[in-house]
Amino acid sequence: MLSFLIALAICCLVFYVYHNLWLQPEKIRKRLLMQGINGPKPSFFYGNLLEMKRIDSSKKVKNEDKCISHEFKLHPSLNFWKNEYGPTFMFLKGNRITVYVSAPEILKEITLCTSLAFGRSTAWIKQRTCLLGDSVATLNGQAWAHHRKIIAPEFFMEKVKGMMDLMVDSTLSLLRSWEVRVETAGGFADIKVDEDLRNLTADVISRACFGSSYLKGKDLFSKIKALQTALVMQATWINLPGYRYIPNKKNREVWRMDREIQQSIMKVINERKVAGNIENDLLSTLIDANDLNGSKASEKFVAESCKTTYFAGHESSSITLKWVLLLLALNPEWQARVRAEITAVCRQHIPEANALRQMKLLTMVIQETMRLYSITPLILRETLQEDIKFGDIWFPGGVELMIPVAALHHDPDIWGPDAGEFNPERFANGASKACKFPYLYMPFGFGPRVCLGLNFAIAELKVILSLMLGKFSFTLSPNYRHSVVYGIVSEPEFGVDLIVRKV
């Protein structure tokens, strides 16, 4: 009897694994095939991952360039399959079906979709939950809509205008330290700007989120950064169920760091509660918020929302700043034009909201930078519970859609033959006139999930850059090595080294 039960259990397990890893994805694959979506033939367990690895290594992707090109190099396999199977094709990461979508007519509908049944990819969420918790960035459905409704008003333009002073204060303190370095070094300094810019944007978002508690918020920054690094190491493309719960060395390290971050945030929340929670910042809003059922939001909700805003709110901005400074160092004529504009608009004054609006050339440079170097080169979405139709295709529930943002931003059919070059002039008449299909320019994402900190980020970039360019000039240091690394976000692999002089 016992051996029969064991045999039965083994049979059930084998069938369960076979069903999940093969039968179910095969059923969905056939439905897509019947609608004309092709793709490489998958193998059991790995799907197309081995082939992907083989193609990527056969194309010998070298990230580092001797001469600087702005070419986009993530996964040449995707480009290879696109040439083979057309702009919309499917492939399997393990048992997960992913449809790569670059056909403009389908993308148009995707960017307009507001259904709660269309959300973030569940595989993406699994990888980020440890970093961001259950938060606006990682939830789907009603829970996401609720979180977004609470946090979004904190980053509306009117509120952001009130945060410009804190952006200025943080920037001036960095500029003073650069001034000392330049003077001590005898007129110019060779500075790796990465750490300084990361500290600067962490300082800004700390003040915006935590108000007077910002020094404690800052302490969290180094911990979150360490967790992010550990998560990149832990990331795997294979969709192995339960992998992140296995108590191996890497996972244990990630759990320990997460606990520490959680405890630090709880400490700040508790201190704020004891003091009466009377400040006008994100932390106060979160502490006073209700959950979906109308009762008081949990401390976990407050902690995870702070963590998300803190992470999302400094990393992308600091990396974008690095790329802007690098591109201006490589293009001195644009640097001079932008500086002249800043001088004319600000007239020796600290920039305020109205002045920022008048900085057209600076806006064009920022837009062109975010086109060439998108923070998120791929955006993943999923048809969550039900089938959804985009263009002529019904995408079955549970299918991941890959939107190749960086490839779209580099496509000569969309941007013209100079798509690979730095030419901010293309944005002279705004983003809507810069290319053939304006909705394919998506540095802040798209649809209802578009970056929640968009207004904040643009104001922050402009304040920081206008103050920096008003005081210093930047040229490329001989120490700079051009290479882009694609992790949770894409960034310069070896940092950005610049020669900084006072103007």
Q: Does residue 452 belong to the site contacting ligand HEM (CB under 6 A)?
A: yes
Quote the least distance from Cβ 381 to ligand HEM, whole Å: 8
Quote the least distance from Cβ 498 to ligand HEM, whole Å: 19
Q: Which residue, 29 or 462, has its beta carbon nearer to ligand HEM?
A: 462
Query: Given the rule CB under 6 A, which of 91-99, 294-302, 440-448, 468-476 is the region that contacts ligand HEM?
Result: 440-448
Q: Does residue 312 belong to the site contacting ligand HEM (CB under 6 A)?
A: yes
Binding-site size for ligand HEM (CB under 6 A) equals: 25
Query: Given the rule CB under 6 A, which of 74-82, 189-197, 350-358, 449-457 is the region that contacts ligand HEM?
Result: 449-457
Q: What single string gives the DSSP state of each residue in 275-310?
A: TT----SHHHHHHH-B-TTSSBPPHHHHHHHHHHHH
Which residues on neighbouring strands pair with residue 502, listed in sequence order?
472
Distance (Å) of CA 142 to CA 116, 118, 127, 147: 7, 12, 21, 9
Q: Does residue 457 belong to the site contacting ligand HEM (CB under 6 A)?
A: yes
Q: Which residue, 21 or 375, has its beta carbon nearer to ligand HEM?
A: 375
Single out the residue of 214, 213, 193, 212 nearest to residue 202, CA to CA.
Answer: 214
Could you give the CA distance from residue 33 to residue 314 in angstroms, rounded to a whole number? 42
Which residues on neighbouring strands pair with residue 474, listed in sequence order?
500
Binds ligand HEM (CB under 6 A): choice among 136, 306, 345, 364: 136
Residues 367-406 that bind ligand HEM (CB under 6 A): 375-376, 379
Single out the residue of 103, 63, 52 nearest to residue 437, CA to CA.
Answer: 103
Quote the least distance from Cβ 29 to ligand HEM, whole Å: 25
Q: Which residue, 46 or 310, has its beta carbon nearer to ligand HEM?
A: 310
Query: Given the rule CB under 6 A, which of 185-193, 257-265, 334-342, 442-450 is the region that contacts ligand HEM?
Result: 442-450
Which residues on neighbouring strands pair with residue 290, listed in sequence order?
296
Residues 65-104 that bind ligand HEM (CB under 6 A): none
Could you give the CA distance from residue 39 to residue 23 in angstroms, rounded to a whole number? 17
- Tokens 């890497």 appear where? 250
Quote the least distance from Cβ 219 to ligand HEM, whole Å: 19
| CB contact at 8 A, 455 and 156 | yes
| CB contact at 8 A, 167 and 472 | no
| CB contact at 8 A, 335 and 474 | yes
Quote the least distance from Cβ 244 to ligand HEM, whole Å: 21
Binds ligand HEM (CB under 6 A): choice among 445, 463, 482, 490: 445
Name the site residues for ligand HEM (rule: CB under 6 A): 136-137, 148, 155, 308-309, 312-313, 316-317, 320, 375-376, 379, 443-446, 449-453, 456-457
